[in-house]
A and B are shown apart, each in its own frame.
Chain A
Amino acid sequence: MKGFEPKIIGFLCNWCSYEGADAAGRARKAYPANLRVLRVMCSGRVDPQFILEAFKEGADGVMILGCHPGDCHYKEGNLQTLKRYYVLKRVLSTLGIEEDRLRLDWISAGEGDKFVQVVSEMTERMRQLGPLPR
C-alpha cells in the first residue's frame, strides 16, 4: 500500500501510559506520528462505543494503553477493560474489522521504550492491513 499512512487513535490512561508516553518524549525517543493520543483517566473509562466511533470517523486502528494489572490507580479499571477487550474483539470481527485493528497493552510510567515499541508495532501492522474499508 504505497503512500498510505494509517491513522491510529490511542486511549492512554492518565496515571501510567500517558506518563509512559511522556517518558518517551523526555528521552527524545522517536516513534511514528500516526498515533493520535486521547488521555483518559483510566483505561476502564474507554466505552466500546468510543472505539466504534473512532473506526467510524476514520481510524484504521485503535489502541487502549493502561496500567499493568495490579497497578491500576482505581484498583481494577484495567481488568474491566481487559474483559471488554476480549468480548469487543469478537464483535468487531463480525463487523468486518480485523482483530488486530484493536490492541490493548499495559505501559507503566517508566516504560518509554515499551511505548515506542508498541506504537511502532501497531503502525507497522496497520500498514500491512491497509486502510479500513468504508
Chain B
Amino acid sequence: MTGKPKIALYWCSSCGGCEESVIDLAEDLLTVTAAVDIVFWPVALDFKYKDVVAMNDGEITATLINGAIRMGEQEHMAKMLRKKSRLVIAHGSCAHLGGVVGLANFYRREDLLSRLYQEVPTINNPQGILPQLETIESGRKVKLPDFHDTVKTLDQVVEVDYTIPGCPPTPELIKEAMMMVLEDRLPPRGSVLAEKKALCDTCPRRDSKPDKLRITEFKRVYETEWDPEKCFLAEGIICLGPATRGGCNARCINANMPCRGCFGPTDDVRDQGAKSSSFLASIIDVTDKEALKKIVDAIPDPGGLFYRYGLASSILKGKMTRGRS
C-alpha cells in the first residue's frame, strides 16, 4: 500500500444513481484514482467487508455513503465505516434528506410489508409469509437484516462531516468535494458542499421572473405548453426553485422541466416541505375562500410534491401514525 489518502464508497437504501454519478466523472475519475487509493467500493471493486473491519480506526481519509438508512445492516455498515473514517460524507439526496425512498415514511412498516408480500396482484405467496429475521432452510439457519420502522437520513444514524446534495449529485460537485478533501481546503464541518443561495439565484430563467408572482391557477406539465425561456412559476407551473438550494447547474430547468427540490433546503431552513408550501401559498393571487380552496385543491399530492426528497429529514419525519422504532 502507498501513502496515498484512502477513500471508501458505500451504498445503503438507494437506487444506484449516486454510484453512477461517480462513474459520470468520466476522465476525471482517472485523476481522482491516481491521487487516492479506493479501499472499499462494493458496486465496482472487489474488496470485502472483512478488509475494512481489519483496518485501523480513522485509517480511511473519507468515506462517501449514499442512500438512506432503513435496514439494520445499513445502520451497522454506516457505524462501522464511521469508526474507520476520518471524514464521512453524505452523498446524494437519500443520505442527505432521506430522498425518494424516504417517502416510505408516509406508510406504516406493517402496511408496506403486507402490501409488498401479500397484496400486490403479481405476488404468489399463498401462505402469506412475511420476511423473517431468521429461518431454517435445508437444515441451515438463514438470517435477514432487520427492516426498521422508519427511513432515516445518514446524519440521524452517524455523525456526518459534509454533504454532497443532489439526486444524483453532479459530477462537478463530486469532483470538487474530492479535491477539497485532497487539497485540505474544506469549509466548516457540517457544510453542504453546494451553493448557499436558492436555485432561483442562478437560474438561467431568472430574468423572466416577474418582481411579484401572481398565480390564479396551477397547471401541470401535461396540461399546458409553456415558453421554454420563461420562469415556470410565471407560467403557473409549480417549480420549487425558490425553496431549494442551488448548485445543480439547473439541470432540470435546462431540460425544460421545473425544479423538484433534490438539493434540499438552504442552510436557514429546517423543513423544506413547510417552506415550499409557504412560498407557493404566498404567490396565489386570490383571497376569496371558495376560489382559494379550488386552487389549493388542484395541487396534486401536496405531501409527495413538497416532501419528495425531504420527508425523512423534515420536522415530523413522516406520517404521525406510522409508528416509531
A91 and B306 within 8 A (CB): yes
Enumerate chain A residues within 8 angstroms of B282, measured Cβ to Cβ.
Answer: 80, 83-84
Contact A96 B320 (CB under 8 A): yes
- Which A residues are in CB contact (< 8 Å) with B306? 91
CA distance A62 to B66 in the complex (A): 37
A90 touches B274 (CB 8 A): no
Would you give the 0/1 interface string for A26-48, flagging 1 where the beta carbon is closer than 8 Å to chain B?
Answer: 00000000000000000000011
Option from A52, A86, A94, A132 in Cβ contact (under 8 Å) with B292: A86
Please determine whether B278 and A90 come into contact, CB atoms closer than 8 angstroms. no
User: Which of B280, B292, B301, B322 neighbours the largest number of chain A CB atoms within 10 Å of its CB?
Assistant: B292
B320 contacts A134, CB within 8 Å? yes
Within 8 A of A (CB), among B69-121: 106
- Whether a CB of chain B sits under 8 angstroms from the CB of A1 is no
Residue of B nearest to A81 (CB): B281
CA distance A94 to B301 in the complex (A): 8
The answer to whether A90 touches B302 (Cβ under 8 A) is yes
Q: How far is the CA of A47 from the CA of B284 in the complex (A)?
A: 17
* B52 nearest CB across to chain A (Å): 37
Interface string of B269-286 (1 = CB under 8 A from A): 111011101101110101
B202 within 8 A of A: no
Residues of A within 8 A of B314 (CB): 52
- B284 partner residues in chain A, CB cutoff 8 A: 83
B315 A83 Cβ-Cβ under 8 A: no
A97 on interface, CB distance cutoff 8 Å:
yes
Complex interface bits, A54-93 against B, C-beta within 8 A gives 1, otherwise 0: 0110000000000001000000000110111011101100
CB-contact partner of A48 in B278, B296, B297, under 8 A: B278
State whether A91 and B271 are in contact (beta carbons under 8 Å apart), knowing that A83-B281, A84-B277 are contacts in the complex: no
How far, in angstroms, from A84 to B306 measured CA to CA in the complex?
A: 13
CB distance A132 to B320 under 8 Å?
A: yes
Contact of A56 with B315 in the complex, beta carbons under 8 Å: yes
Against B, the Cβ 8 Å flags (1 = close, 0 = not) of A84-125 are: 101110110011110000000000000000000000000000
Query: Do A47 and B274 have beta carbons less than 8 Å apart?
Result: yes
Verify A95–B275 contact, CB threshold 8 A: no
A81 to chain B, nearest CB (A): 9
Q: Which of A79, A83, A84 has the most CB of B within 10 A?
A: A83
8 additional contacts, CB 8 Å, given A47-B274, A91-B277?
A: A49-B275, A69-B287, A83-B287, A83-B292, A84-B278, A90-B296, A94-B304, A95-B303
- 8 closest A-B pairs by beta carbon, nearest first, are A94-B303, A48-B274, A96-B320, A96-B319, A52-B315, A87-B281, A83-B281, A84-B281
